[in-house]
Amino acid sequence: MDEHWAYDFTCDRPIDAILAAFNEAGPWQWELRENTIYGSYLNTRPQTGVRAQIHEYPFTGPYGAFTGLHARGFNALLEVRTGSGAARSEIDGVVRTLLGMVGATNVAEIEPY
């Protein structure tokens, strides 16, 4: 069964600085993308069936406001598809390590969106 989970967090760094830090740290390569629903966000597909995204909020687009638990912050959306060969714990460990490296605070698990 596919697994989806998400985190809300705060960070003093802007999204482009998070991108640079994530790519410098590895093991995955991230890219900055743009979306009308979420605005600018970070995206990586480190292996087949695995995806991680970091969305900055608040952002107001054509479908309304994208917000989180704080006045300003980020959400991380994670996905591991059935048959990918990846374990949630493995992907979660990499993401949590990267969040620690950029000084993320107030990390809280939220419902995936």
Q: How far apart are CA 31 and CA 94, in angstroms?
A: 16
Structural domains of the chain sorted by starting position, each given as residue range(s) with its CATH number in brackets? 3-110 (3.30.160.110)
Phi, psi of 59 (to 5 degrees): -145, 130
Q: What is the pTM of this model?
A: 0.93
- The predicted pLDDT at position 35 comes to 87
Percent of the chain with pLDDT over 90: 87
- The predicted pLDDT at position 37 comes to 83
Closest alpha carbon to 22 in 43, 51, 48:
43
pLDDT tens-digit series, residues 32-84 = 999 888 889 999 999 999 999 999 999 988 888 889 999 999 999 999 999 99
Distances (CA, A) of 34 to 13, 14, 51, 54, 111: 18, 15, 16, 11, 22
Contact assessment for residue 16 and residue 32, using Cβ atoms and an 8 Å cutoff: yes
Place of tokens 């966000």: 41
